[in-house]
Amino acid sequence: MWTFKSFSLLFVSYVYFLPLVCSNPLTMTKQEWKARYPSFSIEEVYSPRALRRLNQTGQHIINFEFLDMLQALRNEVGPIYVNIGQHRRRGVRDPYDNYLIYNKNWNYSFHLAGIAADISSSKYSVDELYPKVKNFRFNNKRFTGIGLYPTWIHVDIRPRTEPGHVFWTG
């Protein structure tokens, strides 16, 4: 059950966790967004709840360095998608989105901090896309978290001290 106490815990960790990984200027006009990310609309990257928050505050949650990597990956491998179909919580999420997905107060998600997305491709299967994602480099950086699911791949830029990436299947 969603209660004020559980929301408070989510909100506190959301506010605490966000500055640790988000080094954004936080604001960007729609024209600046379109020029920097011609392949991604804001609606594709943000869940509907997170987009409402963006429209209310004018402050982005997404880490622009992460989105630069997604744009470069899309430029390299062709069409990749975030937040398509019924799964509208695959990019930047609001804390309540996580509650709806996991049906519990689970607030340790890189989606909340704007450094994770679940991607899919119309050109490649998950098995074909995985090696491209695994070997992808942009400005000497790589995805540090990669999770394979039946119809999508989770990618993130979680802070890591060890080389390589965290890998899992779901």
Q: What is the pLDDT of residues 28-46, one digit of tens each?
A: 888 898 999 998 888 888 8
> In this predicted model, which residue has the larger pLDDT, 123 or 98?
123
From the list 113, 123, 130, 121, the residue with the least C-alpha distance to 168 is 130
Domain ranges of the chain: 4-169
Query: Long-range contacts made by residues 105-111, C-beta under 8 angstroms, separation at least 24?
Result: 105/6, 105/9, 105/10, 107/9, 107/10, 107/13, 107/14, 107/17, 108/13, 108/17, 110/21, 110/145, 110/156, 110/157, 110/158
As assigned by CATH, the class of the 4-169 domain is alpha beta
Average pLDDT over residues 118-134: 94
pLDDT at 87: 59
Q: What is the pTM of this model?
A: 0.80
pLDDT at 85: 56
